[in-house]
Structure 1
Amino acid sequence: MSVESAAPKKQRLACQSYALVYATILPGLQQIAREHGYALAVHGSMATDFDLIACPWTDGATDAETMIEAIRERVVAHFPVGYQLSGELVPNPQPKPHGRLGWAFHFDFTHPLHTSNGRSAPYLDISVMPRLNPHPPRKETTPCPGN
């Protein structure tokens, strides 16, 4: 096998290792989302970025910014120096279709392992569905005759 034919496979395998990182932090992020009244799910391949979607799940769901900040703090706390989330590379949040707001947080992988391989660092891409107004109070109904 030539060096040229091996290179794409090596690159592909290196990118797939990000999925392992993402999978290890997912349960903690889901716990945070649940504590803030949201359901958090993966949507995407996890090959390069970590696409998540958060949906308000309870009537007491916090605002999206509060939940996102708690998630950001958790991820930063779990990565040693050189593996912290870097500053925002794009303005956050970004408006998305159907009222979603999206946040992108890029990992600052300054460790030589990540800067010498010529690929971009992984990042979290979290879309949050908007909270809706609480359901209006139900009208009192009159009992049906015969009940």
Structure 2
Amino acid sequence: MKPANNAPVYIGAYKELTEIARKHGYAMAVHGSVARDLDLICIPWIDDADDPQAVVDEITSRFAIKETDKPPRVREHGRIVYTLLVSFGDCFIDLSFTPRAAR
């Protein structure tokens, strides 16, 4: 039998996190196994999607979740990654944003 992991915590939070992302103009998808951490990617879905920090700020103000990286990391293809710590246990969310188009 495999050891228990945090997948139920992550899956339980996904719906509300997705609603926050949509409110700010992003589509959100799960990326990865959801075993060690929750890897989420946000894709701008409307022309005037908000700044990624607005999404992170709403998440951290509504839930017992806080930012661990300031400033966020910039990864391949300009993807911006925030690592968020869920207030209990070893639960982490890697929240990535693909770049918004220049206006």
| TM-score between the two structures when normalised by the length of structure 1 | 0.64
- Which structure's residues are more often helix, by fraction? 1
Contact map agreement 2:60 2:66 (CA 8 A) in 1: no
Contact map agreement 2:25 2:49 (CA 8 A) in 1: yes
Percent identity reads: 37
Contact map agreement 1:87 1:105 (CA 8 A) in 2: yes
1:64 maps to what in 2?
A: 52
In the alignment of these two chains, the number of paired residues is: 103
Q: Which has the larger radius of gyration?
A: 1
Change (3 A) 1:105 1:92: farther
Shift of 1:74: 2.8
Work out which structure has the larger RCO, using CA pairs closer than 8 Å and 6 or more positions apart in sequence. 2
* C-alpha RMSD of the superposition: 1.7
Superposition map of 1:3-82 within 5 A? 9=1, 12-15=2-5, 18-76=6-64
Partner deviation per Cα, 1:48-73 (whole Å, 9 max, x = no partner): 10000001000121011111111222
Change (3 A) 1:87 1:40: closer
| TM-score between the two structures when normalised by the length of structure 2 | 0.88
Change (3 A) 1:28 1:61: same
- Which structure's residues are more often strand, by fraction? 2
Gaps of 5+ in 2: none
